[in-house]
Structure 1
Amino acid sequence: MRHRITRRDFVGGMLVSTGLSAFATLPSASAQASSSDHFVSPPLRTGMRGSHPGAFEAAHALRDGTLQEKEIKDTGEVYDLIVVGGGLSGLSAAHFFQKYAGADKTVLIIENHDDFGGHAKRNQFSVNGHDLVLNGGTLEMESPQRYNQWASMILSDIGVDIEAYKKENTKTGKTYEDMGLQAGLFFNQEGWQRDYLMRKSQNQAEDHWRFLSASALKAAPLTDKAREDLIRLVNFKQPDYLAGKSLSEKKKLLATKSYKEYLLNVANIDPAAAAIFQKAAAGVFCVGADALPALFAWAMGYPGFSGLGLGELPEGLLSDLQGGQHGRQKDSEETVHFPDGNATLARLLVAHLVPESTKARSQDDMGLASFDYTKLDQPGEPVRIRLGTLALNIAHDGTPETAETVSVLCAPAGEEAPRRISKVRGKQVVLACWNMIIPYMVPTLPAAQKEALAYAVKGPIAYVNVAVKNWRAFKKLGISEISCPGMFFEDVQLAEPASLGGLKAPTDPEKPIVVRMIKTFGMPGLSKRDQHRAGRSVLLGLTFEQFEHEIRQQLQRILGPGGFDADRDIAAITVNRWPHGYAYTYNSLYDPLDWVFTETSDRPCVKARQPFGRIAIANSDAGASPHTDAAFEQAHRAVVELLERQTFPFVSAAPGASTL
């Protein structure tokens, strides 16, 4: 582990001289044309990505109140709509606006990152002549058959063909299964006496849960009691740990008790056995079993509930609440994962909004499509996407009831003390950014709305993608994904064997592939929102070099027995850092039960998303759900609110009485 691969070592995922920087800040549209020889397409950039350096410094200065007054340059630009935020919600807001108001209407999308798509990020590598991609953020479309009508409309409009995609991937979809590769659990010596990789048992006749079964646990580094407790926990005929309570009482208790507490104090399993579940659902909620309601764990299929007589979770229950309630709906096998996750959706949206930016048009085209970033912000085009730019202040040009335009002050996102502040105007504005920054951008909002906007604390998470030259070690060890509850990264997974058009799934262990590693930042002992705040601070304090050290040592410990050599086999590393990651979802351990299980208007997300004059709010926070369909649905609502106000100007600019 003595050889380090830094962000300076790669351009487009290919090894080059360390004297050539591949991590230059995205130049402005005008500058790109004159510096194209040095420009690296954002998906090809390695090192620290996600919320990358240069994306948030001005935002932190805005939050801290350290921005100093500068001379403001009025650009004279006036748009029919300005969208703040170029993620899936912002891009779809632009799409809905043009669809309803007219294709000739002008739209400016302002995005602080150097790429479009927000959390729907694409990571791309070229290793030994092989093109590889993987999601750097939003993973997949969960249960698209249950999508709301507006999300379904978006998919139809941009040409998403789920059935064609599934047909294309029928053969390769079971690549790992056909090779005999299984899920595995890694016991690390720090928590379980010795390092041990346990594979899922091949005996399907015995009671099991994922990788846990009596035969698989035989050689695990556990005490007899811990092993027996785990076998009992996954048994399909467990005791009723809540005997004597009614069904209603059982479910309420499970809704208000954490899964960790349930395992330890209700199911009474050994702490060493319970530690296997310490990261339960962390990839969904960004907190572990200590902050996961036991009722959620039951709904998600975690073990320990078969004897309680809870019945079956009715099909669709909890899944059809507005925007979907992430992780609480019954699991569905109908997930759709494009090779780069939902970045394919963002790329299709941009191809429709700014057709000059790419020759690609169809779903299959997106596999290997290239985008000309100099074409995203061109004068005279109906839709312009302005990257690397932060909206600092948004104010009506007059009162919210009478103003005909809204002024938006902008600055380079990466400057703590911006040297250039420009003003653009929009006849309407959609805020498709994070709720928590909106009170700083729009200081004239009502105090109660600011408070509601501040309630949603987004969950921090890191998606790390490691391009390796081969995956022989995975094949030799017989594993395709490994749960590592006691290590720095809790999940290590081979990229899904997915193809899209000219981009072909990796199916040969001798060839390169991308390995996904996931880390969440739960802080047990705190409330969910406080865990998110504390975890964000930890994530922002980690350097690329620290991530790289952890990547190398963890892969070496797990895969070394299979012949893996970190120095030899790692080709490139991209760390997707998301300190403001998943939208906050209501949690019955900390939030009122009606916020969690109903669509009540008392929820902070409903109070926060109320329109304010010519300003409407769209984003996944507005639906209290990180689902992609929630982002689309909230965009539609925001656009309709603006168009209703435009069509019926006698209606109040804010909730309340009519202006007549």
Structure 2
Amino acid sequence: MARQITRRDFLDGMLVAAAGMASSTWAGPAQAAAPYPPALTGLRGQTQSSFQTLHALRDGTFWETAGTPEATNETYDLVVVGAGISGLAAAFLYRQQAGPKARVLLLETSDDFGGHARRNEFTARNGAKIIGYAGSQSLQTPSYFSPAVHKLLRDIAVDLDKFETYYDQDWTRRHKLGPAAFFSAEQFGADRLVKITERAADWVPETPLNEKARHDLIELIDRPRDYLSGKSRPEKLEILSRTTYARFLTDICAYDPQLVTYFQDSTEGILGVGADAIAALDAWGDGEPGFEGMDLGDAPHKMMSASARRAFTDLDPYIFHFPDGNAGIARALLRAMIPDAIPGRGMESLVVTRARYGRLDTPGRDVRLRLDAPVVKVAHHGAEAATVTYVDKGKLRTVEAGHVVLACWHRVIPYLCPEIAPAQIDALNDQQKVPLVVANVLIRDWRSLARLGIRGFKSPGAFWHGATLDFPVSMGRYRFARTPADPVLLSLFKVPLGGKGEDPRTQSLAGRRLLMQLTFEEMEHQIRDLLGRALSGGGFDPARDIEAITVNRWAHGYAREYKRPWDSFWPDGPLPIETARKGWGRIAIANADSGAYPYAHCAIDQAARAVRDLLGHSPKLPAFADFPGPPRDRIGLD
């Protein structure tokens, strides 16, 4: 662990681009004059520099030294605050409906576009180009997408049917790889990696769980009882809606507390909270064990969270994944509006074509995207226009807009807009984001996993929730690893939470504060320690095998879903988002927060609604309660 590893140099928040990413083997000319954001390693995502201005607004200190804004004399039909998927979709849909001559400016706080849907790029030691996803992972269950989402995907040349061939659905079976769990000495008394098979009785005895916990886990998975025997089905569902999964395991099932430790992290990557805060009803919908013998019915219950309901009725294989995750959607939207920023045609060229960041903000173009430009104020300027004030290289500047779409987080909006009424501010502040960390680790080969016969592992109770090989997706000239000797990415995840047993909002807030105190070096150490211990049986050596690390920190990550037992208004309403997302005058709101769904299709739906609010003729969308539920943009390790 103390030895030097071969990797790119990186500093916490002050990063150096990999020179290898300028290779001519990728489409598009090299741009040596400025950093290329996807190739930056170390700490990425939401960094201190991207928070600086907005935190000053929050703390009430910004305007003390801001100075007088300078007018740029720029006027646009639409200014979009935020260039994530929802902001990009709103810009695209607005131009479709207002006409191709509509002038649009997107202002983005950070140094890259896509919001959570960004890409990480690496150059392996053997020269191979490797792409990973930095946050938003996949499109799940397109069968449930609204007509507006399907139309937009078609219009930006995303053909979902092609993922049937892009995604190698036989890759794991062909390489004889399966799931595993790593039990750490800190949590369970001994380091042990155990391969998981269908029957718990075949693998649980190999774990370092205590004797009662092993017996209980086998029963829970292989022979679950009716733990609420004597209760009617409605009574059971009501009890499960107000009982956490942790208390279900200990208080209702009378199982050993070690089972709570084992399952604590299992729902965090999908539902944003762990076993101590998720309703047992949602755990059932998400597929956690223990409910098969309880006669609960074969349909999702209305009190399940939207994600749990969606998981319960999942129709499609989980294959709708670009090599860079939903950054592929963001790049397709950008190409449709600024073609020379990502030249080429078709989905396959999206993967290997370098984005030309120097072309995003070209004077005279109808669509411009301005990075490192945090917005600090949005207010009407008469009845027919609004003024948008933003920071550019330390100076305050203003632009005029006929319409504005706020595609930033809900909790930011009250600091930007002095015109909002108190009731709407309260509703906007209800959206406490779920923090998330996604790490991509480039390893020189995956021989160690092949020797162990695993695709990845979960690590209950550890700093990281586990590690898994990236998705086996090949598109055009971009090819996924074919043999164990090929370099590949390992993906690691963490949902930092605090205040165990508290409500989800409190846990997310505490987790965000903990996350912001962590340095890249601390997270890197945890990566090397976990991989070195868990994969030691396969011969993995962190110093030799790790080539590069990118940690994507999303302190403000997932949009928070409504859940029992904490949200008594769910599902019947009224819902806070109904008040929070209301536009006024020339201003509309579009983001995943507006739907309380942390998923790409929700971001697109809300963009369509916002454009409809402004222009009045976008496609009619179903009401919130009419959606079967959001897709699980899952980062699970099973």
Letter of the structure 1 residue corresponding to residue 390 of structure 2: C
Q: 1:409 aligns with which of 366, 384, 389?
A: 389
> How many Å apart are 1:224 and its aligned residue?
2.2
The alpha carbon displacement at 1:239 in A equals 2.1
The aligned counterpart of 2:622 is: none
Local SS of the residue matching 2:295: coil
SS in 2 for 1:37: coil
* CA deviations over 1:104-129 (Å, ceiling 9, x no partner): 10000011111111010101111021
Contact persistence 1:459–1:532 (CA under 8 A): yes
Q: Does 1:54 align with 2:49?
A: yes
What is the alpha-carbon distance in structure 2 between the residues aligned to residue 358 and residue 285 of structure 1? 34
Q: What residue is the counterpart of 1:588 in the other structure?
A: 564
Q: Distance in 1 between matches of 2:154 and 2:303?
A: 25
Instruction: Map 1:27-46 to 2 at 5 A.
Output: 36-46=31-41
- Code of the aligned partner of 1:455: D
Counterparts in 2 of 1:81 and 1:242: CA distance versus 1, 3 Å: same
- 1:386 aligns with 370
Structure 1 residues 162 and 457, CA gap change in structure 2 (3 angstroms): same
Post-superposition offset of 1:54: 2.3
Rounded to whole Å, the distance in 1 between the matches of 2:564 and 2:394 is 46
Q: Where does residue 313 of structure 2 map in the other structure? A: 330
> Which amino acid in 2 is paired with 1:534?
A
- Pick closer, same or farther for the CA change 1:329–1:394 going to 2, 3 Å: farther
State which drifts further: 633-642 or 518-527: 518-527
Contact 1:198–1:216 (8 Å) recurs in 2: yes
CA change 1:320–1:309 in 2 (3 A) is closer
Show CA shifts across 1:172-201 (max 9, x none).
332222111110011111121111111023
The answer for the alignment partner of 2:214 in structure 1 is 227
Q: Which residue of 2 aligns with 1:299?
A: 285
1:140 corresponds in structure 2 to 138
Quickly say closer, same or farther: Cα 1:52–1:252, change in 2 above 3 A: same
8 Å contact kept, 2:445–2:545? yes
Task: Give the superposition deviation at 1:20.
Answer: 9.4
CA 113–248 in structure 1, closer or farther in 2 if over 3 Å, else same: same
Q: Could you tell me which residue of structure 2 aligns to residue 642 of structure 1?
A: 614
Native 8 Å contact 2:378 2:388 kept in 1: yes
Distance 1:8 1:164 in 2: 35
Partner of 2:2: 2
8 Å CA contact 2:272–2:560 kept in 1: the answer is no
Alignment partner, residue 479 of structure 2: 504
What residue is the counterpart of 1:15 in the other structure?
Answer: none
**Which segment is superposed worse, 187-196 or 453-462?**
187-196
Alpha-carbon distance change, 317 to 328 in structure 1, aligned in 2, over 3 angstroms: farther
Give 1:131 deviation, angstroms.
1.0
Q: For residues 46 and 219 of structure 1, do their structure 2 counterparts lie closer, same or farther at Cα, with a shift above 3 Å needed?
A: same
1:115 maps to what in 2?
112
Query: CA separation of 1:52/1:20 partners in 2, compared to 1, >3 Å: closer, same or farther?
Result: closer
Q: Deviations for 1:312-338, whole angstroms, at most 9, x for unmatched residues?
A: 126x989997xx678655344433122
Cα separation, 2, equivalents of 1:363 and 1:21: 29
Deviation at 1:10, TM superposition (A): 6.4
Find the aligned partners of 1:633 and 1:318 in 2 and give their Cα distance: 23
Q: How does 1:297-446 map to 2 (within 5 A)?
A: 297-313=283-299, 329-335=312-318, 336-398=320-382, 403-412=383-392, 419-446=394-421
Whole-angstrom CA distance in 2 between matches of 1:45 and 1:378: 24
Distance 1:645 1:480, change over 3 A: closer
The whole-number CA distance in structure 2 between the counterparts of 1:20 and 1:621 is: 30
Number of aligned residues: 601
| Distance (Å, rounded) in 2 between the aligned partners of 1:332 and 1:534 | 36
Is 2:496–2:508's contact at 8 Å kept on the other side of the alignment? yes
Whole-angstrom distance in 1 between the partners of 2:552 and 2:510: 19
Counterpart residue type for residue 240 of structure 2: L
Q: Tell me if 1:289 matches 2:289.
A: no
Is residue 616–residue 638 contact of structure 1 (8 Å, CA) maintained in 2?
A: yes
TM-score normalised by the chain length of structure 1:
0.88
**How high is the sequence identity, in percent, across the aligned residues?**
39
Structure 2 counterpart of 1:415 = none
Instruction: Give secondary structure in 1 for the equivalent of 2:154.
Output: helix
Residue in structure 1 matched with residue 26 of structure 2 by the alignment: none
Residue in structure 2 matched with residue 618 of structure 1 by the alignment: 590
Offset at residue 269 of structure 1 (A): 1.1
Checking the alignment, whether the CA contact within 8 Å between 2:281 and 2:304 is kept in structure 1 is no
8 Å Cα contact 2:342-2:350 kept in structure 1 = no
Structure 1 position 176 matched with structure 2 position 163: no
CA contact (8 A) 1:326 1:626 kept: no
Q: Determine if contact 1:284/1:326 at 8 Å carries over to the other structure.
A: no
Amino acid of the structure 1 residue aligned with 2:98: A
Q: Distance in 2 between matches of 1:332 and 1:317?
A: 18
Determine which of 538, 541, 544 is the counterpart of 1:568. 544
CA distance in 2, matches of 1:4, 1:101: 57
The one-letter code of the counterpart of 2:458 is S
* 1:90-239 paired onto structure 2 within 5 Å: 90-127=87-124, 128-169=126-167, 172-201=168-197, 208=199, 213-235=200-222, 237-239=223-225
Contact 2:241 2:280 in 1 (8 A): yes
Deviating more after overlay: 264-273 vs 76-85? 264-273
1:649 aligns with: none
Cα offset for 1:285? 2.4
- Do the aligned partners of residues 258 and 317 (structure 1) sit closer, same or farther apart at CA in structure 2, a change above 3 Å counting? closer
CA contact (8 A) 1:325 1:585 kept: no
- For residues 267-288 of structure 1, give each alpha carbon's deviation from its aligned partner in whole angstroms, at most 9, with x where no partner exists: 1111123321011210012221
Q: Which structure 2 segments of 5+ residues have no match?
A: 20-29, 619-638
Identify the residue that residue 517 of structure 1 maps to in structure 2.
492
Residue correspondence of structure 1 range 489-568 to structure 2 within 5 A:
489-523=464-498, 524-568=500-544
SS at match of 2:73: strand
Partner of 2:389, secondary structure, is strand
Contact 1:6 1:545 in 2 (8 A): no
Tell me if structure 2 keeps the 8 A contact 1:46–1:572.
yes
In 2: Cα distance, 1:574 partner to 1:89 partner: 25
Write the letter of the residue equivalent to 1:349. L
* More displaced stretch, 269-278 vs 566-575: 269-278
Partner residue, 2:575: 603
Give the conservation status (yes or no) of the 8 Å contact 1:287–1:521. Answer: no
- Structure 1 residues 5, 531: CA separation in 2 closer, same or farther (over 3 Å shift)? farther
Distance 1:139-1:378 versus aligned 2 partners, 3 A rule: same
Determine the C-alpha separation between the residues in 2 that align with 1:167 and 1:233. 37
Q: Is the 8 A contact 2:264 2:274 kept in 1?
A: yes
Contact kept in structure 2, 1:296 and 1:328, CA below 8 Å: no
| Aligned partner letter, 2:371 | L
Contact kept? 1:299, 1:313, Cα under 8 Å: no
Unaligned runs of 5+ in 1: 12-18, 25-34, 413-417, 647-660
> Where does residue 658 of structure 1 map in the other structure?
none
Deviation at 1:223, TM superposition (A): 2.4
The answer (yes or no) to whether the contact 2:285–2:308 under 8 Å persists in 1 is no
Distance across 2 between alignment mates of 1:194 and 1:625: 39
Offset, 1:380? 1.1
Whichever residue aligns with residue 317 of structure 2, its letter is E
Secondary structure of the residue that 1:54 maps to in structure 2? helix
Match of 1:485 in 2: 460
